[in-house]
Amino acid sequence: MPHRSPAHRARRHPRRSPTGARLRVGAAAAVAIGTVLVVASPAGAADLVIGTLGGPDVLTWWKAAVLGVVEGITEYLPVSSTGHLLVTSRLLDLPSEEGSAGLEAVNTYAIAIQFGAILAVLGLFWRRFVEMLQGLVGRNADGRQLLRTLVIAFLPSALLGVAFDRAIEDALFGPWPIVVAWVAGGLVILALERTGWIPDRGVDAEVGHHRLAAITTRQALVIGLAQCAALWPGTSRSLATIVGALLVGVAMPAAVEFSFLLGFATLSAATGYKLVTDGGNLVDQFGLVDPLVGALFALVSAVLAIRWLITYLERHDLAIFAWYRFAVAGVAVALLGTSVI
């Protein structure tokens, strides 16, 4: 399924001063470190932003690492990785103007680092993949049912994305639509939590914990339709699928795990397509080392984010992510208003 990168079709912006460049570097470091702190504050995170900065429009190893951390942490949290990557890439002064040198390579890189997030799900939930493979050959009924529902949930956004990708990019991709999506997503979370539309986790958590196979075809289709909302950049695929699952009666643990597995399918399709079509350009521009650095940081940070989210949602609701979305939208507005990005 086509996937939009943070630099794609960004608006032209004026030449920035050295002072503005320093502000962007500092803000980019703050974004990366701040998102790390949301999850686990691993020791040594500050090392990501130490070293030779290099010139503008250059994907150095440390910029690759920063983008990898941002991608890994935000991909599976209900906060929108696309929005965070767009803001961060602009703060790092990476190519964002139509026709600028290196733009296509950066676009491809923004998709390629998802490979780290994909491996995180594969590693953490490998037993589920074994079950699905067994189901494929008729040896595991639960695995076959899970595979069936994941395919059903994957198809709506894949088909819609293929059909309307260009129109969505033209109309919605940019910092202001992302800010709107951040705020709208936060309001949806608070509205659903406070009106009781999202079921209480205390009663049903254990019922659904090991019952992914109990997700029906109808429920999977609703979750897949909900994922279509994430075609609006800034909405968050994770938010759409978790909320969609909760609204059709799936317990929180099963909803979160199903969202991870569905994300694996969606990201694999987008990453595979982009690497096949533009992977050569990526290697020509940046070689292999820097992209692999970004993917490695994405892998580690995604593992931390997934583990934290599972533990957090066992005892808490989604409200914290609503307030976070409001906060990051406010930061983005301030950066846009001061022409930092």
Q: Three-state SS across the chain?
A: CCCCCCCCCCCCCCCCCHHHHHHHHHHHHHHHHHHHHHHCCCCCHHHHHCCCCCCCCCCCHHHHHHHHHHHHHHHCCCCCHHHHHHHHHHHCCCCCCCCCCCHHHHHHHHHHCHHHHHHHHHHHCHHHHHHHHHHHCCCCHHHHHHHHHHHHHHHHHHHHHHHHHHHHHHHHCCHHHHHHHHHHHHHHHHHHHHHCCCCCHHHHHHHHHCCHHHCCHHHHHHHHHHHHHHHCCCCCHHHHHHHHHHHCCCCHHHHHHHHHHHHHHHHHHHHHHHHHHHHHHHHHHHCCHHHHHHHHHHHHHHHHHHHHHHHHHCCCCCHHHHHHHHHHHHHHHHHHHCCCC
Distance between CA atoms of residues 63 and 6, nearest Å: 14
Q: CA-to-CA distance for 93 and 57, rounded, in angstroms?
A: 6
Expressed as residue numbers, the domain containing 48 is 18-337
Q: Which residues of the chain have pLDDT under 70?
A: 1-57, 96-103, 199-210
- Residues 337 and 190: their CA atoms lie apart, in Å, by 27
Asked if residue 286 is part of any domain, the answer here is: yes
Whether residue 156 contacts residue 227, with contact meaning beta carbons closer than 8 Å, is answered with yes
Give φ, ψ of 240 to 5 degrees. Answer: -60, -45
Give a yes or no: residue 2 inside a domain.
Answer: no
Q: Is residue 1 in a domain?
A: no
| Domain-located, residue 5 | no
| Nearest-angstrom CA–CA distance, 154 and 265 | 7
Cα gap 205→183, rounded to integer Å: 28
pLDDT value of residue 211: 79
Which of 259, 52, 81, 250 has the alpha carbon at shortest distance from 157?
A: 259
Two structure tokens written together for 69: 């951390």
Number of domains the chain contains: 1
Q: Is the pTM of the predicted complex or chain greater than 0.85?
A: no
Give the pLDDT of residue 282: 75
The reported pLDDT for the residue numbered 99 is 61
- CB burial readout 102-123, b (16+ within 10 A) else e: bbbbbbbbbbbbbbbbbbbbee
Task: Please name the residue that has the structure tokens 């583990």.
Answer: 307
- Kindly state whether residue 69 falls inside one of the protein's structural domains: yes
Token readout for 191 is 């509205």
Task: Measure CA of the first residue to CA of the last residue in the chain; give whole Å.
Answer: 28
With CA atoms as reference, report the closest residue to 194 among 341, 94, 318, 82: 318
Backbone φ and ψ for 158, nearest 5 degrees, come out as -65, -45
Q: What is the pLDDT of residues 74-118, one digit of tens each?
A: 999 999 998 999 899 889 888 766 666 666 777 778 777 889 999
In a domain, 12, yes or no: no
Question: What is the structure's pLDDT at 200?
Answer: 55
